[in-house]
């Protein structure tokens, strides 16, 4: 077996009083280090057996049988480790919290086979080869900055995924939106693929997934508003799509702002600064969760990047001169 793979062999007896319980649910109880979805895959692949025989997730236990798992966890595909600087905010043997810069793609994909956060994580912590998606449990868009948490063990990964599903992970973002927003509120609009532009997401009337964004006002400028957005769900491009749906797209958002970024009556300096801002003005400023092993409530925050702060300073300066 290659040195970058890991052999997992587990065996457990089904309790005598567990008659009628689904096999996948029983496996989740007996092998809590692994998610139910992963165990279901192993049942389907025939590497998780009941009394040595293949079974189905929906089959029922009678009590007294033995569930056995014999699987090799392979290294993370063809992904390569690359020495890319990481701004690590917190790290222990279970999790890593980092401040992602603009321009860094989180996961390899079409057009981005390397040079991603995942490649950097594999260099920083080679053991992540054995964790699905190298421990990445949530993502930020390429040009969104700020805090992300990465799991360093399967136990931590399963726990963090469960926290995300239970909506107990607190994720707050600073977003600079076009126009003056009167007050805070909640956007509860389902999202799905755009009906005609398949690379985009959109608020959709039918067939979308629940998407909820809470927002409060941090500061109003003459033509723009700095808002704090808190995610209750985590859909792709959620804040960007919800703010555009509200007719207040994010500054610099080339996908959802529809070319709207410059308001009338701006100074030449601010117009040039906005034109030079190459990305959506969105920053993951705060992250809160329960430590997956100790259960301790943990919280981190990080400052906005320098280009974001400079843009806000120009807006504040222009507002002061207009008074």
Active site positions, annotated: 141
* Cβ atoms of residues 239 and 213 within 8 Å: yes
SS3 276: helix
Whether the CA torsion 135, 141, 142, 146 is positive or negative: it is: negative
| Count of positions (residues) in the chain | 323
Q: Which residues have a Cβ under 8 Å from the Cβ of 9 and sit 6 or more positions away? A: 69, 70
With 0-12 / 13-18 / 19 or more C-beta atoms within 10 angstroms meaning exposed / middle / buried, residue 246 is: middle
E strand map for the chain: 6-13, 48-50, 66-73, 88-91, 95-100, 145-151, 170-178, 185-188, 191-193, 201-203, 212-220, 224-231, 282-290, 297-301
- The span from the CA of 297 to the CA of 169, in Å, is 10
SS3 241: helix
SS3 204: coil
**What is the β-pairing status of strands 88-91 and 201-203?**
unpaired
- The span from the CA of 51 to the CA of 148, in Å, is 42
Tokens of 271: 């117009």
């Amino acid at each position: 077996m290659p040195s970058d793979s890991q052999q997992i062999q587990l065996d457990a007896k089904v309790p005598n009083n567990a008659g009628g319980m689904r096999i996948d649910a029983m496996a989740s109880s007996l092998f809590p280090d692994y998610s139910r979805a992963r165990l279901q895959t192993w049942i389907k692949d025939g590497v998780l057996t009941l009394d040595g025989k293949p079974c189905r997730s929906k089959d029922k236990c009678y009590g007294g049988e033995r569930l056995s798992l014999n699987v090799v966890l392979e290294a993370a595909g063809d992904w390569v480790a690359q020495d890319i600087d990481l701004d690590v905010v917190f790290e222990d043997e279970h999790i890593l919290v980092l401040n992602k810069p603009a321009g860094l793609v989180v996961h390899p994909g079409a057009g981005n086979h390397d040079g991603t956060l995942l490649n950097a994580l594999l260099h920083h912590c080679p053991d992540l080869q054995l964790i699905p998606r190298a421990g990445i449990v949530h993502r930020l868009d390429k040009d969104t900055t700020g805090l992300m948490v990465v799991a360093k063990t399967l136990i931590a990964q399963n726990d963090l995924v469960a926290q995300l599903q239970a909506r107990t992970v607190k994720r707050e973002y600073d977003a600079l939106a076009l126009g003056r927003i009167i007050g805070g509120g909640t956007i509860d609009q389902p999202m799905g693929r755009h009906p005609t532009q398949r690379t985009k997401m959109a608020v959709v009337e039918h067939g979308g997934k629940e998407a909820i964004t809470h927002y409060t006002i941090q500061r109003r400028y003459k033509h723009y508003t700095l808002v704090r957005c808190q995610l209750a769900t985590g859909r792709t491009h959620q804040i960007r799509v919800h703010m555009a749906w509200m007719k207040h797209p994010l500054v610099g958002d080339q996908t959802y702002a529809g070319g709207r970024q410059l308001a009338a009556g701006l100074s030449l300096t601010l117009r040039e600064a906005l034109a030079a801002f190459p990305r959506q003005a969105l920053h993951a400023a705060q992250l809160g969760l329960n430590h997956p092993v100790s259960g301790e409530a943990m919280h981190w925050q990080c400052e906005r990047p320098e280009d974001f702060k400079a843009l806000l300073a120009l807006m504040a300066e222009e507002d002061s001169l207009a008074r």
